[in-house]
Amino acid sequence: MKKSALIIGSGVAGLATACRLAHQGFSVEVFEANSYPGGKLSSNGNRAYRFDSGPSLFTLPALVDELISDCGKNPRQYFTYSKKDIACHYFWEDGTKLQASGDKYHFAAEAERQLGEKAENVLRYLEEAEYIYRHTSPVFLEKSLHKVSTYLNITTLNSLIRIHKLKLTGTLHDTNQKSFETDKMVQLFDRFATYNGSSPYLTPGVMSSIPHLEHNIGTYYPEGGMISITKALYELSKDLGVNYHFNSRVDEILVEAGKAKGIRTGDEKFYADLVISNMDVVPTYRKLLASETAPEKTLAQARSSSALIFYWGIKDVFPELDLHNIFFSDDYKAEFNAIFKEAQVFDDPTIYVNISSKEDSFDAPKGCENWFVMINVPGNTGQDWDAIIKKVRAITLAKLSRILNKPIADLIDFEEILDPRSIESKTSSYQGSLYGAGSNDIMSAFLRHPNFTKKIKGLYFCGGSVHPGGGIPLCLLSAQISANIIKTDYA
């Protein structure tokens, strides 16, 4: 008889875990509070404009291909994508612009021409980023940090003997200041701290490996938008026999004698051999395991940043913009101090604009564009978000109008807004944080909740709030780690 598994939540990690367990031979059922799969990786808009709701940057597409192949299917039957020639467009208030090529040599040459940063500095940095990633990912990203076996193999030993080269001390900003001669290039590489919701002035220098994904491997665009990743994993799981319960909010994980026995949703109970929570680890313990002892030190960790997103249908076309665009703050340190020390939004925030209609014309009417406009903000701890939104909207419109030399407010044809409160309510992400616990400490990786718990047998975890972290690549790796642990436990 098949072993049975119940998964709480259908975020990207929940979907990927469902696929892997179904392929392993488990009977899998997924319970989702929303009427759709994907969690943050979903879609919104109206008939005229379509937007990807959450994650907008696609790196490491091989992880999606690998998942589909591991499940015995052809990736191209579910999913197609293309590499971007341009990684990102950067804008500064003083009129400086940089079109960052997807080719690292062109990128380095353009950085020298536009910013005055020596190309050799950029190439050296990217070479070091690749080195750090190569020697940290097999240990910190691809395996559980909470299993003894992780530390008893040649791969880990090879990483440990190079630990002095992995920039584990000092901050990312310190690393960038030592690597570059120009303030703008330091700022450009400081921004990669936001990829895990941290501050470059706090997160460790090992995070300098993140640019390797974008500038050495490349950025990609999935045909049909980011939502096609969710669609691919959902269809794959259905083909593997996974059963879904939508509009089914789980109220309790049933535990008897230290063993997870199933779940309760409303008055209905479902029983299985094991339970996997793709829900944020904080509400998992606070709401679903209210009668169990919680790992208080882990749950008390500071959270990552959140986001304020304006989805704007724009009645115009901007040739100078591409898929990914960054409009930098003039005072980056003050911006991150506001987010992480004051729990407020800075008066001159950095603005990210994603325009998927640059790749898929059907995402906006002819002669129009769909702007996903995001500002990094603190998590929801009781701020007056209505007042913040009003203020930030005005600042954002003024800044974009100033730099692009067009009255953006007059061009808005459609608008929706997502803030930390709605992120928290729609995705159960504690405080609306995008990446679970923050990464502003060298020990953050070790303090994240593991993909299992020794206290409750048969209970496992996946997703951005547990090891190895948030973002699409890490959530896919989280699913792989969880599935591998389960495979070993139930061999």
Nearest of 335, 322, 315, 409 to residue 91 by alpha carbon:
322
- 114-123, 148-157, 295-304, 361-370: least confidently modelled range: 148-157
- Mean pLDDT computed over 464-485: 95
* Percentage of the residues of the chain whose pLDDT score is greater than 90: 88
pLDDT of 444 higher than 70:
no
- Mean pLDDT computed over 458-469: 95
Predicted pLDDT at 158: 60
- Mean pLDDT computed over 104-128: 97
pLDDT of 448 higher than 90:
no
Q: Which tens digits make up the pLDDT trace of 123-143?
A: 999 999 999 998 887 766 666
Predicted pLDDT at 445: 55
pLDDT-based confidence at residue 115 (cuts at 50, 70, 90):
very high
Q: Which tens digits make up the pLDDT trace of 247-277?
A: 999 999 999 999 999 999 999 999 999 999 9
Predicted pLDDT at 272: 98
Predicted pLDDT at 441: 78
Nearest of 112, 33, 478, 62 to residue 284 by alpha carbon:
33
| Entry pTM | 0.95
pLDDT of 162 higher than 80:
no
Instruction: List the chain domain ranges.
Output: 4-42+224-301+448-489, 113-217
pLDDT-based confidence at residue 446 (cuts at 50, 70, 90):
low
pLDDT of 153 higher than 70:
no
Q: Which tens digits make up the pLDDT trace of 221-242?
A: 999 999 999 999 999 999 999 9
Predicted pLDDT at 13: 98
Nearest of 46, 38, 208 to residue 135 by alpha carbon:
208
Q: Which tens digits make up the pLDDT trace of 32-67?
A: 999 999 999 999 999 999 999 999 999 999 999 999
CATH classification of 113-217, choosing from 2.60.40, 2.60.120, 3.40.50, 1.10.405?
1.10.405
Q: Is the Cβ–Cβ distance between 260 and 455 less than 8 Å?
A: no
* CA–CA gap between residue 255 and residue 259 (Å, rounded): 5
Specify the CATH superfamily of domain 4-42+224-301+448-489.
FAD/NAD(P)-binding domain (3.50.50.60)
pLDDT of 159 higher than 80:
no
Averaged pLDDT score across all residues of the chain: 94
pLDDT of 411 higher than 70:
yes
Predicted pLDDT at 15: 98
* CA–CA gap between residue 209 and residue 471 (Å, rounded): 15
Other CB atoms within 10 Å distance of the CB of residue 482 = 30
Nearest of 335, 333, 377, 341 to residue 177 by alpha carbon:
333
Tokens of 374: 């995001």
- Mean pLDDT computed over 140-148: 64
Asked if domains 4-42+224-301+448-489 and 113-217 share a fold, the reply is no
pLDDT-based confidence at residue 468 (cuts at 50, 70, 90):
very high
Predicted pLDDT at 165: 59
* Percentage of the residues of the chain whose pLDDT score is greater than 70: 93
* CA–CA gap between residue 298 and residue 40 (Å, rounded): 23
Q: Which tens digits make up the pLDDT trace of 164-181?
A: 555 667 899 999 999 999
Predicted pLDDT at 155: 56
* CA–CA gap between residue 135 and residue 158 (Å, rounded): 8
pLDDT-based confidence at residue 68 (cuts at 50, 70, 90):
very high
* CA–CA gap between residue 210 and residue 207 (Å, rounded): 6
pLDDT of 151 higher than 80:
no
Strand partners, 204: 171
Q: How would you write the chain as a 3-class SS string?
A: CCCEEEEECCEHHHHHHHHHHHHHCCEEEEECCCCCCECCCCEEECCCCEEECCCCCECCCHHHHHHHHHCCCCHHHCCCEEECCEEEEEECCCCCEEEEECCHHHHHHHHHHHHCCCHHHHHHHHHHHHHHHHHHHHHHHCCCCCCHHHHCCHHHHHHHCCHHHCCCCCEHHHHHHHHCCCHHHHHHHHHHHHHHCCCCCCCEHHHHHCHHHHHHHCCEEECCCCHHHHHHHHHHHHHCCCEEECCCCCCEEEEECCEEEEEEECCEEEECCEEEECCCHHHHHHHHCCCCCCCHHHHCCCECCEEEEEEEEECCCCCCCCCEEEECCCCHHHHHHHHHCCCCCCCCCCEEEECHHHCCHHHCCCCCEEEEEEEEECCCCCCCHHHHHHHHHHHHHHHHHHHHCCCHHHHEEEEEEECHHHHHHHHCCHHHCCCCECCCCCCHHHHCECCECCCCECEEECCCCECCCCCHHHHHHHHHHHHHHHHHHCC
